[in-house]
Amino acid sequence: MRNPIDVLIALAAVLILAATGVGREDEPASLPLATVEAVSCTECHRAIALEWADSLHARAWVDPIYQKAVKKKRRPSSCYGCHIPLPLHSGDLAKKPKPRSAESEPLEHGISCRSCHEGPDGEILGPFGAETEAHRSVQSPSFVGAGRDQLCASCHRTNIGPVIGVAKDFESTRQADRDRSCVGCHMSFEIRELAESDPNGPKIERKGRNHRINGPSDPEFLERAFQLSLEAEEGALRLRIANGAGHRVPGLIGRRFELTGRLLDEEGQELASQTATFDTFSYLDVTKPFEWVFKGTGAVLTVTGLHFPTEKSRPIPFLNERFEIE
Ligand code: HEC
Ligand code: HEC
Ligand code: HEC
Ligand code: HEC
Ligand code: HEC
């Protein structure tokens, strides 16, 4: 049995680490629940707040990878605008967001509810304009149709630090014309009451969106970035890897995806194999699919994928496809 004092000290250390949001340097921090509780909106919009608390938007300031990168900068203030923004609608969405001070809202709230939803006069902007006693609600073009892409693009259009401005690809390849949107892929549908924890809120179910934000750390979501198709030709097999995201893949310097294709015979013996790496320099372009040609034929072609979140991190498997060859 361990000394109870040691156990208490260890517990205190864990609590301090959790409260300061400092974790392992190579992993994004988990947001302490205490911080979520301090967000005024949580009282009534608990389900959405808990989803948000689990996103990198909520952790944009406490994230140890970000904190470490910022400490190395001569002018760290140039890094604050998108990680601790003032309400974006208090300025021009087409310009780089401005940072807030801790007096206007705690920095630990990162990209907060107010950053996206507060209007220039303190009103709440959203997709519906649903009237409530709780706050003034106004339907805003930033939350319906293509206006939503502008909201996301205000931070995701710029190349800075390790960030590749993926929204530039989205815009230059006119993804919106194909009925694609950032929200459509990154925020899944949820049908529910919006303010389910407000005792006076209406009991109306509406079609809303999950605020957890789908990203590359979810293997099932990541798989969608690589659309595979196999064609048999005269004496060869052609595997196409097309871009299933609305922008280049990956979108962060240091992130790398490695795909391996293996052609097997009936006994499962390998006949041939090819590997492709997608990173900052050799990314999967939106409009140019990648191709492998295997000479001859076989019984099965397998494609597996590994995700290296940073240069040094261990790989995470995310793709395992199998094509039976007729
Ligand atoms: C124009 C908005 C903007 C500014 C200004 C900005 N960032 Fe970011 N930052 C982002 C976005 C968007 C992401 C997410 C990119 C992604 O996940 O692909 C990000 C992510 C990061 C990450 C990755 C965190 C992780 O968990 O892997 C680091 C590190 C980072 N930023 C550092 C910086 C530094 C250093 C500066 C200042 C030189 C800076 N940022 C300024 C928008 C910005
Ligand atoms: C006292 C409870 C309460 C608090 C606190 C609260 N809300 Fe609301 N909110 C509601 C209710 C009730 C609705 C309307 C729900 C409905 O009609 O389905 C609503 C609606 C909304 C909508 C939808 C707007 C629309 O109609 O498009 C947004 C966005 C929103 N709230 C954001 C926030 C944010 C951000 C905060 C914190 C700054 C916040 N709310 C604080 C109760 C609250
Ligand atoms: C105020 C600036 C800002 C706005 C607005 C914004 N983002 Fe982000 N986003 C960021 C930053 C900063 C990060 C990375 C934070 C970090 O890793 O420290 C990020 C991360 C992400 C990620 C990576 C998530 C992951 O798990 O890897 C995705 C996807 C994303 N944002 C999509 C969106 C979408 C969709 C919208 C519009 C609804 C949006 N963002 C609006 C700044 C913003
Ligand atoms: C057709 C679906 C789709 C659309 C549209 C889309 N994305 Fe993505 N996005 C993905 C997929 C899949 C990934 C995972 C692959 C990756 O990380 O590159 C991803 C990754 C990301 C990342 C993380 C990049 C990285 O590697 O760290 C960011 C940030 C992001 N998207 C933002 C946006 C923004 C902003 C928009 C709108 C301008 C948008 N996405 C539109 C599917 C989409
Ligand atoms: C990065 C920007 C961003 C942040 C941060 C954000 N939201 Fe939203 N929110 C959106 C977008 C975009 C929609 C509209 C999605 C749609 O319906 O197309 C939305 C929709 C909503 C709605 C309407 C119902 C729904 O699900 O569509 C409510 C309520 C809401 N948000 C509350 C919140 C609260 C509370 C927080 C903080 C805990 C928050 N949001 C943080 C972008 C954001």
CATH number (domain holding residue 290): 2.60.40
Query: Which residues lie closer than 8 Å to 101 by C-beta, 6 or more apart?
Result: none
Q: Which atom of ligand 5 is nearest to the CA of 41?
A: 35
Nearest to 273 by CA among 256, 289, 261: 261
pLDDT along the chain (326 residues), means of 10: 47 43 47 79 96 94 94 95 97 94 96 98 96 96 94 97 96 96 97 95 95 96 98 94 97 97 97 97 97 95 97 94 94
Ligand nearest to the CA of 72: 1
The verdict on residue 52 lying in a domain is yes
Give long-range contacts, CB 8 A cutoff, 24+ apart: 162-166: 162/69, 162/252, 162/253, 162/254, 163/251, 163/252, 163/253, 164/248, 164/250, 164/251, 164/252, 164/253, 164/280, 166/246, 166/247, 166/248, 166/251
The verdict on residue 144 lying in a domain is yes
Query: Which of residues 175, 209, 243 is at a domain's end?
Result: 209
Range of the domain at 318: 219-324
Q: 187 and 232: one domain?
A: no
The verdict on residue 214 lying in a domain is no
Ligand nearest to the CA of 183: 3
Q: 193 and 223: one domain?
A: no
CA dihedral 276, 280, 285, 289 (to 10 degrees): 0
| Overall number of domains in the chain | 2
Ligand nearest to the CA of 41: 2
Q: Which residues line ligand 3 (CB under 6 A)?
A: 56-57, 59-60, 63, 66, 82-83, 85, 88, 97, 111, 115-116, 151-152, 154-156, 182-183, 186, 213, 215-217
- The pLDDT value recorded for residue 10 is 47
Q: 194 and 289: one domain?
A: no
Q: 107 and 186: one domain?
A: yes
Ligand nearest to the CA of 77: 1
Ligand 3 centre to CA of 56 (Å) is 7
Q: 167 and 103: one domain?
A: yes
Query: Which of residues 209, 229, 261 is at a domain's end?
Result: 209
124 in contact with ligand 2, CB cutoff 6 A: yes
Instruction: Read off the DSSP letter of residue 118.
Output: B
108 in Cβ contact with 59 (< 8 Å): no
49 in contact with ligand 5, CB cutoff 6 A: yes
The verdict on residue 29 lying in a domain is yes
The verdict on residue 270 lying in a domain is yes
Q: 300 and 197: one domain?
A: no
128 in contact with ligand 2, CB cutoff 6 A: yes
Query: Which of residues 191, 209, 227 is at a domain's end?
Result: 209
Q: 242 and 302: one domain?
A: yes
The verdict on residue 295 lying in a domain is yes
Q: 227 and 200: one domain?
A: no
Ligand 2, atom 28, lies closest to the CA of 126
Q: 29 and 122: one domain?
A: yes
Residue 10 CB neighbours (<10 A)? 11
Ligand 4 centre to CA of 258 (Å) is 18
- The pLDDT value recorded for residue 326 is 82
Q: 197 and 90: one domain?
A: yes
Ligand 4 centre to CA of 215 (Å) is 7
Integer Cα distance of 294 and 78 in angstroms:
49
283 in Cβ contact with 252 (< 8 Å): no
The verdict on residue 124 lying in a domain is yes
> Structure pTM?
0.94
Integer Cα distance of 81 and 98 in angstroms:
5
Q: 107 and 237: one domain?
A: no
Residue 232 CB neighbours (<10 A)? 12
Q: Which atom of ligand 5 is nearest to the CA of 152?
A: 1
